[in-house]
């Protein structure tokens, strides 16, 4: 099961976040900071799956954008890795380029649901 979905720039700023389990706001901030630090500090040669606390992180980098998904232990990492890629491909086709304005629009759409 997916616990959260983050899109982060190279400076470590969260551009889009969606949580599928309740997490208090102050804990979200700490969680995002730790997750971002773990993902951004890794080299391109390292695996894109990280065991973190009681869940796993799956991430992909697209230019200056990192997409990070937190999943539980039973979820298939490769399936989530492909899900991330498919999501970014759809954004790229629909918006022609995934840029910060697109992320702002997505944040507004996600906040409505």
Here the CATH number for the domain that contains residue 77 is 3.30.450.60
Contact 57, 39 (CB under 8 A): yes
Q: What DSSP state is assigned to residue 43?
A: -
Contact 5, 69 (CB under 8 A): yes
Report pLDDT digits (tens) over 29-66.
999 999 999 998 998 899 999 999 889 999 999 888 89
Which two three-digit tokens encode residue 52?
A: 């973190």
Which two three-digit tokens encode residue 105?
A: 């629009």
Domain around 72: 2-110
- Model confidence, pTM: 0.82
Q: What DSSP state is assigned to residue 62?
A: E
Counting the structural domains of the chain, the total is: 1
At residue 74 the predicted structure's pLDDT band, cuts being 50, 70 and 90, is very high
């Amino acid at each position: 099961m997916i616990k959260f979905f983050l899109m982060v720039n190279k400076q470590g700023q969260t551009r889009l976040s969606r949580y599928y389990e309740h997490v208090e706001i102050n804990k979200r901030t700490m969680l995002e900071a730790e997750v971002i630090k773990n993902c951004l500090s890794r080299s391109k040669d390292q695996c894109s799956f990280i065991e973190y606390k009681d869940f796993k992180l799956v991430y992909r980098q697209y230019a200056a954008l990192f997409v990070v998904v937190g999943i539980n232990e039973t979820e298939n990492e490769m399936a989530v890795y492909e899900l991330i890629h498919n999501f970014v491909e759809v954004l790229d086709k629909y918006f022609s380029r995934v840029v910060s304005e697109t992320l702002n629009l997505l944040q507004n759409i996600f906040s409505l649901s």
